[in-house]
Chain A
Amino acid sequence: MRPLVSMDQLWTLATRWYATRLQEESRRPRPDEIREIFAGIGLVGDFWDPKSDNFG
């Protein structure tokens, strides 16, 4: 399956990554958080796993 992301999903990623980027407490999501964010919008599988090296 091609790794395609809808605009609604992309907006969720944009806000989770960047909504606090101009603020003091901003930080990049950790790998476990990245996996959780992706899973929360249905992006699952090795392609979306920041620690996987097996992409089928």
Chain B
Amino acid sequence: MDFDLQVKLAVYRHFAETGQRPKPEEIAERVGAGMGRVLDAYRRLAGLRLLVLEDDGSSIRMASPFSGVPTQHVAEADGIRYYANCAWDALGVIAALQKPGIVQSHCEQSGEPLHLEVGPDGPGPSEWLFHCLVPAAHWWDDIVFT
């Protein structure tokens, strides 16, 4: 397995196991490499849009569907709470974990809370709608806004 793939999997698996973004030193320990090599891999993975980094170049803002920072979109499974980048990604966390879970968010217009139980086949019947604000061709113009 090539090094960047090892780093990518280590990052995603850390999120899955803890619900938190990893520190670069945790990834370095996990893949048995120095911090410099890990941060170089972070940059290449960000170039491939597999990670979004903070301005410091070492903190992970997004490893979609996981968010490295608290958001209003939360998924919960096996007692672990995960922050997601949007409602799509909150369902994506449950899909990635392949475990039943709960998704919580709220309506941007009314503030009404969203609480969805999600099983292996997805959420049960629901009247909720996801409003996509940005056209697909422009999602990566500013992925944090999207």
A interface, CB within 8 angstroms of B: 2-15, 17-19, 21-22, 24, 28, 34, 38, 46-53, 55
Contacts and interface: CB of A to CB of B under 8 A. Distances in A.
B92 A17 contact: yes
Contacts of B116: 7
A16 to B, nearest CB: 9
A35 to B, nearest CB: 9
Contacts of B97: 22
B70 interface: no
4 shortest A-B CB distances, which residue pairs? A11-B122, A14-B91, A18-B92, A14-B92
Contact of B95 (A15, A48, A49, A52): A15
Given A18-B64, A24-B1, A10 B137 contact: no
